[in-house]
Structure 1
Amino acid sequence: MLETSINSLQSPGTVIIGAGHAGGSVAAFLRQNGFAGSITLIGEEPLEPYQRPPLSKAWLKGEANEEGLRLRPAEFYLENCIQLYLNTRVDAIDRLARLVCMADGKTVNYDNLILATGARARTAPFEGTSLPVVLELRTAADAEKLKLALKPGARVVIVGGGYVGLEVAASARALGAEVVVVEREARPLARVACSQLSSFFLRYHSQRGVTFRLGRSVTSVQMLDGAASVCLDDGEQLPADLVLVGVGAVPNEELARHAGLRCDDGVLVDLSARTDDPNIYAIGDCTRRPLPLYNRKVRLESVPNALEQAKQAAASICNLPAPKPETPWFWSDQFDVKLQIAGLPMDVAEIVIRGDPDEDRFAVFHVSADQRIQAVEAVNAVPEFMMGRQLIGARTEINIERLRNPNISMKEVAI
């Protein structure tokens, strides 16, 4: 428990806009770092900061409850003197006055401001998205609507074959629903994974009853005689009790942009998560950040990225040394498969497959021309993921033939 009372806190202090994983974590990291100023955490949802990954899996299957979703117990915020404003939208930022203006008319001053506004579901480009049967999945409220609609025998059409779409497909099948995934590209995961991984998940899902319409687009969703019909560009009509749209996300950068901060498909930040205003930071899904490992600026949507940037911002505000840079990593659980990804497949000269996809345990390594691993996509292959992640971060040169041989330990692939 923090050894200072609310009355003795320095004010104004730090204001955090966005009470998701990134926002809730940076508030906790500030206190862990010894920050004694006031902390105000503002969120649009009615819940304290919670985990989002379970929404497409454990929550839908009834294996998680609201208490289990919370990042920290509700009393944590009171004990650590963190002022929570839930169900509250921020309308504007006055950078000159260092003032946050909320929709209900309240204002809060800040010394440092942290934008953790996240991302929202991309709007689907077809008619009928406002129908009650058409849902998206970004929040706990979205997940609850989806959960109530997923029943044995329910006809579910999922628009978009990305990770969220496939995770929901797996959960829906586990609950006994009939599932069709419509993907405009020629393969699922086309924008986020290599073709070898796409082929594996296409087979794995198909064997478990998921049907795919690849290379097809939805033109509209219509209600006919009380039932929904999903119309495809080739004329096929799919009957549906539920339509889930998962065609990507866009960063919530409007507050930053209207405040005059630099944005480019995300709020632009440096290695300390600081924007071009020295008193304003941005973290999580809403940012485009530098990755020296790849000499690029990228926008990452992941819990590890949110946590890393939360640590960066908290360290900077507390005048502490910057945390050690981390290798980007991600995960996805589908049926009995645990997919773990480390790194980004950039500047790749060769792809090496270690293990056998037909045995549901393998790893795909993306290797640069100078024999260094750029990324690894590991299916039920924890050693490959863990060691691959270390080798990526250390920029260690590896032996391709050793890497290719699953009988050789991952610890022996480095030169």
Structure 2
Amino acid sequence: MTEHTTHPVVVVGSGHAGVAVAAGLRTRGWAGRVVLVDAQHDVPYERPPLSKDLLASGAGDRAAPLRKEDWYEAKGIERVTGQAVDSIDRDARAVILSDGSRLPYHRLVLATGSRARELPVPGADLDGVLALRTHQDGLAIKQSLVPGARVVVIGAGFIGMEVAAAAVKNGCAVTVLEFQDRVMKRVTSPPVSAFFERLHRSQGLRLEFGAAVTELQGDGRVERVLTSDGRTFEADVVVAGIGVLPNQELAEAAGLACQDGILVNEQCRTTDPCIYAAGDVTRFTSPFSGASQRLESIQNATAQAEAVVDDVLDHEVKPSEVPWFWTVQHGVRLQTAGVMHPDDEVVVRGDPERGKFSVVYLREGRLAAVDTIGGLADFRPAKKLISTGLLLDPARVADPGVKLEDAVIGTGPRPGAYETAAALV
């Protein structure tokens, strides 16, 4: 009897990455045991609907499962629920669960995800101060979005703006406080930010920029939000959407290399060749730009899970897919491919006033990222051009009557990038 049959592949975490690893191993022929460990008792569920469908007026309260409950048993995937992994014994190749029991592994996959960043101000622990990361978080927010409620959202990123849109639709009086000078600044350019600002204001949302929150006040429950410029905003509910932190503590305690995320190479191996990591918790080198990055997206979680499965099965790891993301706000879909940089050349295709346009980001003459708003015509060709690194003519890119692929003017290696992702470990 081999270690493959006696010692399982143990996956810690049942989000998109963890479930995708377990499913991929089974569907692609792994005959050994697969054990999925989750501190929660819930059946693993979809995360994107938490800030979209779940918060909609009249929507049901149930979480959308990633797989039906009986699917795990049918596929021979063992689920250990209600148990956290307290530590990793790398020498013995075993994890120690919260009840003190030991679970040996042939290979270990850390898919521990991320958690909502807490507000670092006085009063953040008052009742009515909420964040969105889990299904229970989503239900708590949904129950608070009653008509007439004064809702203050802190942070104008994807999550903050999606929650704000849902709150407005539910009849709340909503104010978004953002310490930067525009919405979604970390992930997009001024033309896209301006479009979504107009959209939200047209629906009755109040947006306040340069608003750094300094304190939350209330008698047991939040009643007001104070900002550094001396303003006060009355609130019945506060939702903090100020980003996430990677759940890397387990890896750090085990001596694995971490740097705002668990460092992994293109096979998703950590500094221990028997331990992988996948999903929001990882940091890796982009094969397209050579930059170190941590991506919070379903696409990245799924792609990394596939890389883990390939490596465990001794298959060749496929080339990386261009990362992509999406958000839907007031019925308008923004879909992004690639990762923009503030220094990129910004080229607008189409008319933002008509609600259907694209923004292309050129870096040294090559397509680095694209935003498509209200339509996807440019999305697929843009993804292909990002991956190939071909030189483009900015004037032709700016003409919406010219197909993106017809704007190519040259070839050559992408400056600063790697032929394959450079290993961080």
Backbone CA RMSD of aligned residues: 1.7
Residue 302 of structure 1 aligns with which residue?
A: 297
The 8 Å contact of residues 11 and 110 in structure 2, kept in 1 or not, is answered as: yes
Residue number in structure 1 paired with 2:196: 201
Q: How many corresponding residue pairs?
A: 406
Distance 1:231 1:349, change over 3 A: closer
CA contact (8 A) 1:157 1:240 kept: yes
Match of 1:146, SS state, is helix
2:315 corresponds to = 320
Q: Does 1:179 pair with 2:149?
A: no
Of residues 125, 131, 142, the one that matches 1:136 is 131
1:13 is aligned, of 8, 15, 27, to 8
Corresponding residue for 1:3?
A: none
Q: Helix, strand or coil: the match of 2:196?
A: helix
> Paired residue for 1:281?
276
Q: Which of the residues 380, 386, 390 maps onto 1:392?
A: 386
Tell me the equivalent position of 1:217: 212
- Equivalent residue number for residue 339 of structure 2: 344
Q: Is the 8 A contact 1:348 1:367 kept in 2?
A: no
Q: Which residue of 2 aligns with 1:41?
A: 36
**Distance in 2, Cα, partners of 1:216 & 1:349:** 27
Is 355-364 or 344-353 further displaced after alignment?
344-353
Q: Tell me the distance in 2 between the aligned counterparts of 1:52 and 1:226.
A: 28
Task: Say if 1:172 and 1:179, in contact at 8 Å, map to a contact too.
Answer: yes
Corresponding letter in the other structure for 2:202: Q
CA distance in 2 between partners of 1:347 and 1:356 (Å): 22
1:401 is matched with which residue? 395
Deviation of 1:411 (Å): 4.1
Tell me which amino acid in the other structure corresponds to 1:299. Answer: R
What's the secondary structure of 2:199's corresponding residue? helix
Structure-to-structure mapping, 1:13-412, within 5 angstroms: 13-61=8-56, 62-63=58-59, 65-66=61-62, 69-224=64-219, 228-346=223-341, 348-369=343-364, 371-412=365-406
1:131 to partner: Cα distance: 1.1
> Structure 1 vs Structure 2: percent identity of aligned residues?
39
Q: In the alignment, residue 92 of structure 1 is paired with which amino acid? A: S
Residue 195 (structure 1) shift: 1.7
* Alpha-carbon distance between aligned partners in 2 of 1:348 and 1:366, rounded to the nearest angstrom: 9
For 2:275 and 2:332, how far apart are their aligned partners in 1?
40
Bigger shift: 192-201 or 306-315? 192-201
Gaps of 5+ in 2: 410-425
| TM-score normalised by L of structure 1 | 0.94
**Alpha-carbon distance between aligned partners in 1 of 2:50 and 2:353, rounded to the nearest angstrom:** 29
Q: What stretches of structure 1 of length at least 5 have no aligned partner? A: 1-8
Give the conservation status (yes or no) of the 8 Å contact 1:121–1:250.
yes
User: After alignment, is 392-401 or 309-318 more displaced?
Assistant: 392-401
Measured after TM superposition, the shift of residue 239 of structure 1 is: 1.4
**Alpha-carbon shift at residue 22 of structure 1 (Å):** 0.7
Following superposition, the deviation at residue 143 of structure 1 comes to 0.4
Counterpart contact for 2:187–2:340, Cα < 8 Å: no
| Maintained 8 Å contact 1:121/1:137 | yes
The residue identity in structure 1 corresponding to 2:62 is: E
TM-score, with structure 2 as normaliser = 0.92
Deviation at 1:348, TM superposition (A): 4.9
1:347 Cα deviation from its structure 2 partner: 8.5
Q: Residue 383 of structure 1: SS of its match in structure 2?
A: coil
